Structure 1
């Protein structure tokens, strides 16, 4: 379908989606770093309160203790890596759930689900790989960049539909292929790379990041990736981290605990 599009349409889409950095676009519409972090903090408080009310907040189990211990070890290095110009008020909570998940909001508001640790049988270095990956999402302001990318995509769709008369369905497909999906995969790769370096600086073996994805492969293989996949394949992540080992292993050797 896309192969039949007029060249001027593709040029227009590309120009709109690349006319400015996604972070800059978010800033222009009022979503600067401080505002994003403050909004995220408010949402995070509401989420954690709901989790507490549902009696799903884990504050004392061995898993929670391990997660908080690793988080505390990583924290000084995450603060040193913060180039946003705004200090983060990092927070970590552990949520009791079978879901294999962990996340970070703008400004360093984080959560790890017990299912992630339990189902993958994560050791402390592997927990560090998960947390440092999510920390890197926050440090690189991927939330703001994603917002900026969505603003550009929405704006581009309006221009193409209203001004050029393009078919609405074609606009949606073109914008998704050119912006949202590849951008999401790039974010994940960036978080993998930054996370591996962060955990090495904190004295955790970067090879543990490989074992996390090897374990994930056994439970949820995603190695048949399509063009619309939002994440790199597990095997692609493993391969990319292996290529980084010569760079980060000396850092780990210097700092290992």
Structure 2
């Protein structure tokens, strides 16, 4: 166990030593101020370009299967909601005004949506249809996903994984750990470093997404109804401490506490 602990400490040292402390966005009314550690050799542009290639591959595969929806009423609805949110993104990150944003809808039963680095958005129809989402609830989902991109959580995770891998390789040679010990060390590193930050990232995306939706003129209370629907759709989810997503009760409580901060923005947007 001591060797595993040393590996986790080495991982942290490598991660911090090779990274720069940055804050990718302004705090906004919701006050997201956490410093992030990014590998300087892994630039924003590089990550955006890598993801853009993967995104285009996903679209090509969807198109070849006939499930890429470009023209339906639902696709136009998603695009219109996304447009209102994207206009608000520079409030948190001015350079996002120059991003090459893309919004696409894929016909699938999957309850999912995402926004990758550089503003590449995909919404799966199952999310909207099965949960019967309102426009404001769609905005809550998309705002959350856009927030991940604005905060560069993908680049942050890549930086962290890179640091862990470097430390794992170096520590394995240094300490003479066998495969079983290294597997245990990986578990320690994973739970000691990666998962807590992932939960923090989810909370940040919830809060920034809430503000984006409010600024775009969507009722922030829709975030609560959205997650209530998500809770019913995901019964049997793992306990919070074992998951990269906060338990629904914690998530909803955090959102409820933040709604008064963004309600004036929503009311101003309605006018």
Alignment partners' CA distance in 2, 1:254 and 1:39: 38
- How many Å apart are 1:85 and its aligned residue? 7.4
Distance 1:52 1:223, change over 3 A: closer
**1:186 aligned onto 2:200:** yes
Is the contact made by 1:17 and 1:179 (CA closer than 8 Å) also made in structure 2?
no
- 8 Å CA contact retained: 1:33, 1:86: no
Matched, 1:159 2:170: yes
1:236 aligns with 2:260: no
The alpha-carbon distance between structure 1 residues 145 and 10, as it changes in their structure 2 partners (threshold 3 A), is closer
Question: How many residues were matched structurally?
Answer: 252
Q: 1:95 to 1:254 in 2, by over 3 A?
A: same
Q: Does 1:134 align with 2:136?
A: no
Does the Cα contact within 8 Å between 2:113 and 2:123 map onto a contact in 1?
A: yes
Q: 1:246 to 1:222 in 2, by over 3 A?
A: farther
1:72 paired residue number: 83
How far did residue 90 of structure 1 move? 0.5
User: Could you report, residue by residue, the CA deviation over 1:87-130 in whole angstroms, capped at 9, with x for unpaired residues?
Assistant: 21110000000000001111001100000001111000001001
Tell me, in whole angstroms, the C-alpha distance in 2 between the residues paired with 1:34 and 1:127: 28
**Conserved? CA contact 2:240–2:247, under 8 Å:** no
Mark the CA change 1:51 to 1:244 in structure 2 (over 3 Å): closer, same or farther. same
**Closer, same or farther: CA 92–84 of 1 in aligned 2, 3 Å:** same
2:38 paired with 1:24: yes
What TM-score, normalized to structure 2?
A: 0.85
Shift of 1:180: 1.9
Match of 2:191 in 1: 177
Cα gap change, 1:85 to 1:120, in 2 (>3 Å): closer
- The 2-side partners of 1:144 and 1:51 are apart by 25
Give, in whole Å, the separation in 2 of the partners of 1:248 and 1:222.
32
Partners of 2:4 and 2:45 in 1: CA distance: 42
The reply to whether residue 202 of structure 1 matches residue 216 of structure 2 is: yes
CA distance in 1, matches of 2:246, 2:194: 14
- Does 1:122 find its partner at 2:133? yes
User: How much does 1:82 deviate?
Assistant: 2.1
Partner secondary structure for residue 205 of structure 1: coil
User: Deviation at 1:76?
Assistant: 0.9
Correspondence for 1:149:
160
Could you say which residue in structure 2 is the equivalent of 1:40?
51
Deviations 1:165-186 (A, max 9, x none): 3421221111111222222222
Per-residue deviation at 1:17?
A: 4.2
Q: 1:170 to 1:101 in 2, by over 3 A?
A: same
User: Contact between 1:200 and 1:206, CA under 8 Å: does it hold in 2?
Assistant: yes
Counterpart pick for 1:60 among 71, 88, 92: 71
- Please, which runs of 5 or more residues in structure 1 have no aligned partner? none
Which residue is 2:227 aligned to? 213
Q: TM-score, normalised by structure 1?
A: 0.89
| CA displacement at 1:84 relative to structure 2 | 5.5
RMSD: 2.2
Within 2, Cα distance between the matches of 1:249 and 1:103?
25
